[in-house]
Amino acid sequence: MRPLPDEPSAALRGWRLRVYTIIFEADTRAGRWFDQALIVLIVLSVAVVTADSVPAIRARLHHPLELAEWFFTAVFTVEYLARLATVRHPLRYATSFFGVIDLLALLPTYLALLLPEAHALIDVRVLRLLRIFRVFKLPAYVVEYRSLGHALRASRRKITVFIAGVMMIVLVMGTLMYVVEGPENGFTSIPTSVYWAITTMTTVGFGDITPRTELGRFISSVMMLLGWGTLAVPTGIVTAEMASQRLVPLRTPTTRTCHECLTEGHLPEARYCYHCGAELPPWLHEPRNRG
């Protein structure tokens, strides 16, 4: 069950294959080093933007911080172009989940040239850290991440029914409170009242808007008890799903990525992608203990 990898496909050879392996996969030493360096860069760039937003720090260090940001953006731009260059279907990468995140990580810096306020959105870059699990305790975390995602996907219909129900309740209750309390008590419009209804049903309770009339307070009390008890429902859904999942073992995947559809996690001995059927590029790796 362990055939040797085939000849690589014509287009993915030489330097392109090497770069591809480093960037997209993490089973070689260079691949892992790349991932770790990438994470450090992402964290630093986010820290730079965050620090720049604090008035005390901005006053003194704005210029160096701004230089650092342009440095990071340059690095990430080169990396993004490298990804586009070494993948067989650049468009498919650009529209995949991670591709979109990688693009959103770059745009704010350029956007800020036109719209200064968008500048802080560089922090969206932190979503790139979703790749982080490929470096630490590789197989185990990928398994857990999938297990969580699987439980949520399997319950998605129940969750949808539930959310739709909640939406309707907050709209009706919010309108009711708008009619009962009125703009002079803070409930200035139906959208505002719905915002209040959501803060109340989710038990956040900011307190920026509160009911003043007795009838309003009575209706609020009913809503609070309803919201409190309703929290039980999504919890029950997800828990029941997880409890029934514990009998399905998952084989340890690698970071091996299909060049056609970008699905990760193929078995070491696989020759074809289980998702789209395309031929997989040769798997370059260095053996190490799985711990």
Q: Which of residues 190-219 bind its own copies (CB under 8 A)?
A: 190-192, 194-195, 198-208, 210, 214, 217-218
State how far the alpha carbon of 16 is from the alpha carbons of 86, 191, 207, 272, in Å.
6, 54, 58, 20
CA separation for the pair 69, 80 (Å, rounded): 16
Q: Is 254 left (phi over 0), alpha (psi -120 to 50) or beta?
A: beta
**Which range touches its own copies (CB under 8 A), out of 32-40, 221-229, 253-261, 283-291?**
221-229
**Comparison of 70 and 218: residue with beta carbon closer to its own copies:** 218
Which single residue is written with the structure tokens 């919010």?
174
CA separation for the pair 136, 116 (Å, rounded): 37
**Comparison of 19 and 104: residue with beta carbon closer to its own copies:** 104
Compute the least distance from the CB of residue 144 to its own copies, in Å: 4
Among 61, 124, 261, 278, binds its own copies (CB under 8 A): 124
Among 71, 80, 98, 133, binds its own copies (CB under 8 A): 133
Among 2, 60, 157, 251, binds its own copies (CB under 8 A): 157
CA separation for the pair 5, 256 (Å, rounded): 13
The contact mask relative to its own copies for 226-255 (x = CB under 8 A, - = no) is -xxx-xxxxxxxxxxxxxxxx---------
Site for its own copies in 167-186 (CB under 8 A): 168, 171-172, 175-176, 178-179, 182-183
Among 160, 250, 277, 286, binds its own copies (CB under 8 A): 160
**Comparison of 19 and 129: residue with beta carbon closer to its own copies:** 129
CA angle 15, 20, 24 (to 5 degrees): 160
CA separation for the pair 201, 236 (Å, rounded): 18
Which single residue is written with the structure tokens 């590789």?
138
Count residues binding its own copies (CB under 8 A). 89
CA separation for the pair 228, 36 (Å, rounded): 43
Among 121, 261, 270, 278, binds its own copies (CB under 8 A): 121
Which single residue is written with the structure tokens 């200064």?
116
Among 22, 26, 49, 87, binds its own copies (CB under 8 A): 49
Compute the least distance from the CB of residue 183 to its own copies, in Å: 8
CA separation for the pair 90, 256 (Å, rounded): 18
The contact mask relative to its own copies for 73-102 (x = CB under 8 A, - = no) is ------------------------------
Compute the least distance from the CB of residue 270 to its own copies, in Å: 25
- Residue 76: its H or E element: helix 55-86
Please report whether residue 61 would count as binding its own copies according to CB under 8 A: no
End-to-end CA distance of the chain: 23
Are 237 and 223 spatial neighbours (Cβ–Cβ below 8 Å)?
no
